[in-house]
Amino acid sequence: MRDDLVPAVERVAARLRGARRVAVLTGAGMSVASGLPTYRGIGGLYNDMVVDEGMPIEEILHAYTFARNPALTWKYIAQIERACRGAVANEGHHVLARWDARFDVRVVTQNVDGFHRAAGSRHVIELHGNLGELKCIDCERQYTLGELEPLALPPRCLHCDGLIRPNVVLFGEMLPSAALDDFDTELRRGFDVMFSIGTSAGFPYIQQPVIEAARRGTYTVEINPDGTLLSSSVAEHLACPALYALQAIDAALAVG
């Protein structure tokens, strides 16, 4: 372990040993060790893609464009899916899943890769949806990508021929109310320790819960190689990648 991180890691481990409820808020940096880029944009949905149509990617991945030209939106969603295909949950995801046996853990993620669930975390709130889940907008029948391969653009429902969309938040759309309600319920119950991992915390619905928790006395920890809007508010800022920090904290917990 890096010498400069040892004191902070030991402090985090010490606070975790006495914790019951733990919140983990994750962003794109959580999945870097899985081989995924640090996506920018709402929903962790894209990186610096080259767009052939001369339109901003924000416009192509907008709800308005999907409504009038779903094939165009799906063209780039399919590119993102192909770039992610073959990637799997990394050891950081598995560390958090193992913590379920020790703490009452609630994972709240902006990522759409589904890796927290794949690793085995039992309580996951996907604020921006899941790229691997599809739904017919007419009959609401649900699919996985594998069920529709080879993938037509745009894909159509095998049951009613309705248009199928991915279960992700596009630009111009509200966050899913069910996920927000679940998040709010968990926040009202309170946490002993709250982590912000691999997210710039640029969205108020990520930033404010951490700041408010810190003000109420919750022990707050940020894991991010760079400083963010949260760095001055949290009790600990571990300036390193998510996987490195989580493995170090997990190892320290095992010793204590």
Q: List, by residue number, the catalytic residues.
A: 128
- What residue has token string 């339109």? 55
CB 222 within 8 A of CB 231: yes
CB 231 within 8 A of CB 202: no
Distance (Å, whole) CA 89 – CA 30? 10
Half-sphere exposure in the Cβ direction for 73 (13 Å, CA)? 23
Dihedral sign of CA atoms 140, 145, 147, 152 in order: positive
Alpha-carbon separation of residue 27 from 32, 39, 106 (angstroms): 10, 9, 14
Q: Which residues of 5-36 are buried (b: 16+ CB within 10 A; e: fewer)?
A: beebbbebbebbeebebbbbbbbbbbbbbbeb
Alpha-carbon separation of residue 112 from 5, 69, 127, 149, 204 (angstroms): 30, 23, 9, 20, 19
CB 242 within 8 A of CB 33: yes
Helix (H, G, I), strand (E, B) or coil at 173: coil
178 CB contacts (<8 Å, ≥6 apart)? Answer: none
